Amino acid sequence: MANTDLSTADIATRAIHAGQEPDPTTGAVVPPIYMSSTFKQDGVGGLRGGYEYSRSTNPTRDAFDEQLAGVEGAKHSISFSSGLAAIDVLLRSFLKPGDNILLGNDVYGGTYRLLSKVFGPWGIGLDVVDVTDVQAVTERLSAKEYAVVWVETPSNPLLRITDIEAVVSVAHQHGAKVVVDNTFASPALQHPLEDGADVVVYSTTKYIGGHSDIVGGAVLLDDDDLYEQVAFLQNAAGAVPSPFDSWLAIRGLKTLDLRVKRHSANALALAEHLEQRPEIERVWYPGLESHPGHAIAKRQMHGGFGGVVSVQLAGGMDAAKRFVAGTRIFTLAESLGGVESLIEHPAAMTHASVSGTALQVPDNLVRLSVGVEGKDDLIADVDQVLDSLRG
């Protein structure tokens, strides 16, 4: 794809070619894993290709950053050693003591823990709001000054849908930035920067890596000044991904579009099936017409509704525990977004850290990360457990 303008190309094309020029010295079609902490200088300051030390920059990491920026349609991408490291550096790059954050009430538990337990004591104020309710967001923004509104859509674990454009419009009127954690949708389905958001963050651990073999994160944005601030703090604080992790992220991202279409089709089929089962009290999936955010999701997401489905069991917490313990293909584990199907009990696992807060989740809730296996096998797997719950 040398000299081809990728900006107008399909996302699947960009995923395979952005930042992926064959290696100039050897012609290697896949960018090498530059497993080197430092780079020879031809005389003091005589850097070859700008590389000096791998905390600052590394060619494999650069190849991933360029690839992800290309996929997102963002001017800049900066990758980190975890999603939380990305969030931490992003927020510290522009917040100062006395600033306030307005956070959605159904966000990743670790984000809430970082903001309440780490940022709070450093003087950053935190308020929680139902960010799907634009009226409630407007009231909060009118009552107090916020530096940033934090949106996660679809949210975790209830798959609630926020109208990004609507929140951006009120936030910008009140001088607040909008950050969207786009981890659940991935760039295959949703483009918050096009909807007006200032920054997108990812846990690349999930759909972007896609194979449950790395932990990573990224910050994507168009603003040059903010990019300089984030890049400065990334180097100053140092939570960078390794060259090998960057290479795995590159390999994962190449097939994102294929995988997410399959994840979405499997999840929709499973959600529709689960809605028919009497052992299930409620199914949360934005692709279902019964979901309160379905109309917005249909407009805001493109080509699918993602691979995560949450359900509430009619038999309460006990039934939820038996459900997650009884599947054979779905593996009982935290995390999501990998090719293999996973199942978990948020109240006791991923969301245990928000127990007793405004973000507490129902204890009969089970979250399924629907993988790319055959959909009939996945449906048969949940059916065999649900059948056993009747006995």
Catalog residues that contact ligand PLP under the rule CB under 6 A.
Answer: 82-84, 108, 110-111, 152, 156, 181, 183-184, 203, 205-206, 215, 217
**Strand 280-284 relative to strand 308-313: parallel, antiparallel, unpaired?**
antiparallel
Residue 179 near residue 197, CB atoms below 8 Å: yes
Percentages (nearest 5) of helix, strand, coil residues in the chain: 40, 15, 45
Which is nearer to ligand PLP, 58 or 153 (by Cβ)? 153
Q: Which of 140, 177, 206, 259 is catalytic?
A: 206
Which is nearer to ligand PLP, 181 or 198 (by Cβ)? 181
Q: Which of 23, 55, 222, 363 is catalytic?
A: 55
Token code pair at residue 339: 């090719």
CA distance 230 to 95: 11
CA distance 62 to 49: 12
Give the length of the chain. 391
CA atoms within 13 A on the CB side of 1: 15
Which residue's beta carbon is nearest to the bound ligand PLP? 83
CB of 206 to ligand PLP, least distance (A): 6
Which is nearer to ligand PLP, 345 or 385 (by Cβ)? 345
Q: What is the dihedral of CA 329, 335, 339, 342, to 10 degrees?
A: 10
Is 75 in the active site?
no
Q: What is the dihedral of CA 212, 90, 100, 198, to 10 degrees?
A: -90
Which is nearer to ligand PLP, 82 or 212 (by Cβ)? 82
Residue with tokens 């039934």: 319
Which is nearer to ligand PLP, 16 or 159 (by Cβ)? 159
CB of 83 to ligand PLP, least distance (A): 2
Is 261 in the active site?
no
Element (H or E) spanning 76, and its range? strand 76-80
CA 299 to chain centre: 19
Is 53 in the active site?
no
CB of 114 to ligand PLP, least distance (A): 9
Q: Which of 34, 108, 112, 146 is catalytic?
A: 108
Alpha-carbon torsion (150, 151, 152, 156), positive or negative: positive
CB of 52 to ligand PLP, least distance (A): 27
CB of 183 to ligand PLP, least distance (A): 4
CB of 89 to ligand PLP, least distance (A): 12
Is 181 in the active site?
yes
Instruction: Please provide residue 76's backbone torsions phi and psi, each rounded to the nearest 5 degrees.
Output: -130, 145
Q: Which of 62, 88, 106, 181 is catalytic?
A: 181
Which is nearer to ligand PLP, 249 or 389 (by Cβ)? 249
CA distance 174 to 129: 16
Residue with tokens 């719950």: 389
Catalytic residue IDs:
55, 108, 181, 206
